[in-house]
Amino acid sequence: MTSDQIHITGLHVQCIIGINDWEREVKQEVIIDITLHADLSRAGESDDIADTVNYRDVSKAVQEHVEASSYGLIEAMAQSIANICLEPESVIRADVSVQKPGALRGVDSVGVEISRETTPGFSTG
């Protein structure tokens, strides 16, 4: 398994998230961190965007999806983000952290972190 990683850190998105009635009406901020695991050696040699994972495209797809979503649980949101991150063929694993600031009184945030891998012969899309 490759140890090459692309990090997308601190993606702030406003969305409907939560199970309480008021949470279903008011957009809240979530903060998303993503680590994409892929073999980046070819891009390192070629210096060609076509040989790597375009992190701008992944970030934009995640942001658009989350802004339009309405999840009850951050666990479900994290899973859907991981699925998006695994769409590029060269990504073999995605680590996704979703933080919900202010979810509990007296804490900075509450969050989940998940890791998902591609399954040979399985398409996430």
Known catalytic residues? 100
Residue in the block written with tokens 């210096």: 47
Residue pair 52/63 in contact (Cβ under 8 Å)? The answer is no
- Which of 68, 80, 64 is closest to 114 using CA atoms? 80
Structure-token pair, residue 99: 């933080």
Residue in the block written with tokens 């992190």: 55
Residue pair 99/111 in contact (Cβ under 8 Å)? The answer is yes
